[in-house]
A = this chain, B = another copy of it.
């Protein structure tokens, strides 16, 4: 019955991020039943707080019982019927994943692509919507594999005009940069708990517009996933409280506390802290000659994708950071494997202490 001792890391990778003690303590509260009146009250609070961070009034806002990828799948299995056309913007791992997931729902998938690290011009996306006439258009707001921060404020209105639903992946941006669901006319969005929320992984907050829910209600075919079927889960999160599955009680304690922390400080102050720490890191990296691989002017504050510093071996360097300094950063994925590092400044990890230590460690290593 060996169990390794769990070290105290500094989590500056692409997620999970550092978790505040308050959230870990909340996770350890006594488990109660998923239909206990006290738990239902906690769920109502989580819904309300999620709406504030999503900046939405969407009734259908809740946390799916899986990680961010389960949230992605929730969106596509519910909104797509076999034969529907889904337009996916692909400029990294997660856009590509959306295309795969939509394809497995029987969608006719159309993609437009950009080189990794680049963002799409919104007008180009809108022109493609007009040409392809998709049922759904999907884009990644914060591409965790490339560090690119995609502007998305204009696409929703154009999608609406074209009769398409507008879907965004905001796994990495949520609670670290503005995600304005209602203002941007987003019809469905999904995120994860382990990024800027600074909660352990295991839940996927999602939100769906009334327009999206009309599409769900008008489906001719059953949702292919029973586990992720909104028409069933909605009856548990909604006032009916019909048993669907046993919610991950203690994970929801953690999410609730993580949301409390976000809202106590306020969204604007939280976003500003992420920007300020990003600027501090960027200046420090620049002084070390380290370049961003994401497009200038479109760097994500919470996910800094940079070239592996000249003179440092990718894997050996990351191992040294972990073993000598207790710092986890992420390696590159896909096209950036071996070439890029991904330095996260997510939630509680976006601190002057962390940035200062990482820069000092890199200076040591570059010797």
Measured CB to CB, the residues of A under 8 A from B are 1-9, 11, 13, 15-16, 18-19, 24-25, 27-34, 36, 38, 41-42, 45, 49, 65-70, 72-73, 97, 100-101, 103-105, 192, 194, 200-202, 222-227, 243-251, 253-254, 256-257, 259-260, 263-264, 322, 328, 333
Report if A16-B34 is in contact (Cβ < 8 Å); known contacts: A66-B65, A225-B73. Answer: yes
Q: Are B25 and A224 in contact (CB under 8 A)?
A: no
Chain B neighbourhood of A7, CB < 8 A: 30, 32, 38
Question: Which of these, B15, B104, B243, B333, contacts A246 with CB under 8 Å?
Answer: B15
Number of copies: 2
In the complex, A226→B27 CA distance in Å?
28
Q: Are B24 and A25 in contact (CB under 8 A)?
A: no
Question: Which of these, B33, B224, B248, contacts A9 with CB under 8 Å?
Answer: B33
Chain B residue nearest in CB terms to A12: B33
Chain B neighbourhood of A192, CB < 8 A: 246
In the complex, A65→B8 CA distance in Å?
23
Chain B residue nearest in CB terms to A74: B227
In the complex, A223→B200 CA distance in Å?
28
With A4-B41, A16-B246, A24-B250 already in contact, 6 other A-B pairs whose C-beta atoms are closer than 8 Å: A6-B253, A9-B33, A11-B31, A34-B201, A66-B66, A201-B247
In the complex, A1→B105 CA distance in Å?
38
Q: Are B1 and A16 in contact (CB under 8 A)?
A: no
Chain B neighbourhood of A97, CB < 8 A: 226
Q: Which of A100, A201, A246, A263 has the most CB of B within 10 A?
A: A246
A261 to chain B, nearest CB (A): 9
Question: Which of these, B13, B31, B41, contacts A33 with CB under 8 Å?
Answer: B13
A169 to chain B, nearest CB (A): 13
In the complex, A224→B27 CA distance in Å?
33
Q: Are B28 and A27 in contact (CB under 8 A)?
A: yes
Chain B neighbourhood of A45, CB < 8 A: 1-4
In the complex, A90→B248 CA distance in Å?
27
Chain B neighbourhood of A4, CB < 8 A: 38, 41-42, 45
In the complex, A198→B249 CA distance in Å?
13
In the complex, A49→B260 CA distance in Å?
36
Question: Which of these, B6, B67, B244, contacts A30 with CB under 8 Å?
Answer: B6
A340 to chain B, nearest CB (A): 15
Chain B neighbourhood of A42, CB < 8 A: 3-4, 6
Q: Are B6 and A260 in contact (CB under 8 A)?
A: no
Chain B neighbourhood of A247, CB < 8 A: 67, 201
In the complex, A227→B73 CA distance in Å?
7
Question: Which of these, B227, B245, B250, contacts A27 with CB under 8 Å?
Answer: B250
Q: Are A28 and B25 in contact (CB under 8 A)?
A: yes
Question: Which of these, B104, B105, B251, B256, contacts A251 with CB under 8 Å?
Answer: B251
Q: Are B227 and A66 in contact (CB under 8 A)?
A: yes
Chain B residue nearest in CB terms to A260: B1
Chain B neighbourhood of A25, CB < 8 A: 28
In the complex, A79→B268 CA distance in Å?
48
A139 to chain B, nearest CB (A): 18
A353 to chain B, nearest CB (A): 16
A25 to chain B, nearest CB (A): 6
Report if A224-B257 is in contact (Cβ < 8 Å); known contacts: A4-B41, A246-B16, A249-B16. Answer: no
Query: Which 7 pairs between the two chains have the least Cβ-Cβ distance?
Result: A202-B248, A28-B28, A200-B250, A69-B245, A6-B29, A201-B246, A24-B28
Q: Are B3 and A31 in contact (CB under 8 A)?
A: no
